[in-house]
Amino acid sequence: MTSSDMVAQVPLEWYLLVSGILFAIGMTGVLTRRNVLVIFMSVELMMNAVNITLVAFGTALNSLAGQAFVVFVVTVAAAEAAVGLAIIMALVRHKPTVDPAEMELMKE
């Protein structure tokens, strides 16, 4: 059995369903958690959920564009993680909390 046969046997919708459920989970995490790091992780989860749809569609349509997009998303995610974590470091140094509700420097 070649790998393309395996693809053929899993419907596209299944991937989409998994992606949608993971997306909803990530979003719930963003809304419920108060640790900014965990919120960050939830955002990463949401991005990965989207990545699945990109690759699934690309494979289904016999296109490499989906995979190329995922490469870019991963790149941006890496950049975002680097900058975002640096910002969190700087913020925590200023005020020792990870609750975004307490990060209110700009509000004043």
98 and 35 in contact (C-beta within 8 Å)?
Answer: yes
Nearest-5° angle of CA 27, CA 31, CA 34? Answer: 125
Q: How many amino acids of this chain bind another protein (CB under 8 A)? A: 85
CA distance 95 to 33: 19
Any contact of residue 105 with another protein (CB under 8 A)?
no
CA distance 44 to 38: 10
- Least distance from another protein to the Cβ atom of residue 104, Å: 7
Residues 23-62 that bind another protein (CB under 8 A): 23-35, 37-38, 40-42, 44-45, 48, 51-52, 55-56, 58-62
- Least distance from another protein to the Cβ atom of residue 53, Å: 10
- Least distance from another protein to the Cβ atom of residue 22, Å: 5
Q: Which two tokens stand for residue 81?
A: 């993680």
- Least distance from another protein to the Cβ atom of residue 14, Å: 6
Residue 95 carries which DSSP code? S
Residues 65-84 that bind another protein (CB under 8 A): 65, 67-68, 70-72, 74-83
